[in-house]
Amino acid sequence: MTLAPHPERPDLDAEALDWFVRCGDAPTAELQVWLDADPAHRQAYARWAEDWAQLDHLPHAGIAALKQDLADQKRHASRVSVSVSANASGRASWWTALRRWPPQAALASLLIAAGAAYLAWAQWHTAPVLYAETFVTGRGEQRDVTLPDGSLLRLDTATRVEVTLYEKRRVVSIPDGQAVFQVQGDTRRPFDVLAGPLKITVVGTRFSVRHTTGVPGDDGVRVAVDEGRVNVARADGWRGWFSAAETLTPGQQLRADAAGDMSPVTAVAPAGIAPWRDGMVSFDNTPLSQALAEFERYGATGLRVRSPAVGALRLTGTFDPRNLTHFKRSLPKVLPVQLLPQAGITEIVALPAP
């Protein structure tokens, strides 16, 4: 951590911090003017952003301790009377409160809190690893995995998961693919799933996570809960650290794009949580090009779409990705297309105009 005032211009660091807490994750034209006015401005602002990003993976206990330190500091700031939430789900309101502090008070609070946060972060990330393993499924393959803690993972095709177990936490990363988790309850060790820009935290539950970076138009993250309760939050740097988390209960799901912007929570039927467990894939108003990319995750389809207009046609239905006979037979009945075999592939083209 290098979170400290500039030795020669502490006033500049206070000014940069003022811009930092006022603008947060929404840069303004005024901020850009200030940054462009002097290279030192940009350097001071970058120091705050860079150092704050190092708090990405601060554990919940560290977050609570940091906020308590800030709350203690705030009580000594006589000009401010804004309450500060002490729980992790109140990150957005905490950020709003910090923006209302005088720059000097915010600077002092952040310096003290960052020291405590760094100690918690260092202790958290230097904990000994009890178990580490990577599991991979090939194209068309699925796999069941039992972890040493008793948690069960069901991996879909073309999926990679990286598992690390510590004494006080359990972490699974999904760089690509999708999986269903049945987590063994252990209140002493939260279970975190990292998928793209999201962090999903549970104690004991069953849920699915999808993070398919290779599917055009579906390269974000989807989380759906079958049993129990999960918390979903952004995990990408200080922006995510101050974002409000969403809590999902059975029959709920949410999606986030590749940037981590989450959609509203919606309902999902049990059969729609992870239909691939039964060897099926489901589409709901899905672009045809995206549906074909999903089929390709399970094996070569021999189907091609060259026309953007045809690829944008919307498809709804449930199909067996390993046997596309039904799909090929049904497609011309539900969309204005025809299938033309040529040179070893089948091209999906628009019906000719009448």
**71 is written with which tokens?**
């709350």
Closest CA to 274 of 189, 200, 178, 194: 178
Are 281 and 319 in contact by the 8 Å Cβ rule? The answer is yes
User: Which residue matches tokens 């952003």?
Assistant: 49
pLDDT surpassing 70 at residue 288: yes
Closest CA to 165 of 195, 130, 192: 130
Query: What's the whole-number mean pLDDT along residues 63-69?
Result: 52
**295 is written with which tokens?**
């089929």
Query: What's the whole-number mean pLDDT along residues 104-130?
Result: 58
> In whole angstroms, how far apart are CA 309 and each of 13, 203, 285, 314, 329?
53, 45, 15, 10, 21
- Give the residue with greater pLDDT, 241 vs 226: 226
Render pLDDT for 133-165 as a digit per residue (tens, 0 to 9). Answer: 999 999 999 999 999 999 999 999 999 999 999
Q: Mean pLDDT, the chain, as a whole number? A: 80
**Range of weakest confidence among 72-76, 113-117, 343-347:** 72-76
Q: What confidence tier does 73 reach under pLDDT thresholds 50, 70, 90?
A: very low
**Range of weakest confidence among 67-81, 212-226, 338-352:** 67-81
Are 98 and 70 in contact by the 8 Å Cβ rule? The answer is yes
Alpha-carbon gap, residue 271 to 301, rounded angstroms: 25
- Biggest CA-to-CA distance, the chain: 78
Alpha-carbon gap, residue 248 to 267, rounded angstroms: 10
- Give the residue with greater pLDDT, 8 vs 184: 184
Q: b vs e for 120-130, b when ≥16 Cβ sit within 10 Å of the residue's Cβ?
A: bbeebeeeeee
pLDDT surpassing 50 at residue 80: no
pLDDT at 27: 67
Alpha-carbon gap, residue 168 to 150, rounded angstroms: 15
**349 is written with which tokens?**
């083209």
- Give the residue with greater pLDDT, 188 vs 252: 252
pLDDT surpassing 90 at residue 171: yes
Question: Torsion-angle region of residue 260: left (phi > 0), alpha (psi -120 to 50) or beta?
Answer: left
Radius of gyration for the chain, computed over Cα atoms and rounded to the nearest angstrom? 24
**Range of weakest confidence among 40-44, 235-239, 308-312:** 235-239
Structural domains of the chain, ranges and CATH numbers in brackets: 10-125 (no CATH), 129-273 (2.60.120.1440), 279-350 (3.55.50.30)
Query: What's the whole-number mean pLDDT along residues 92-109?
Result: 52
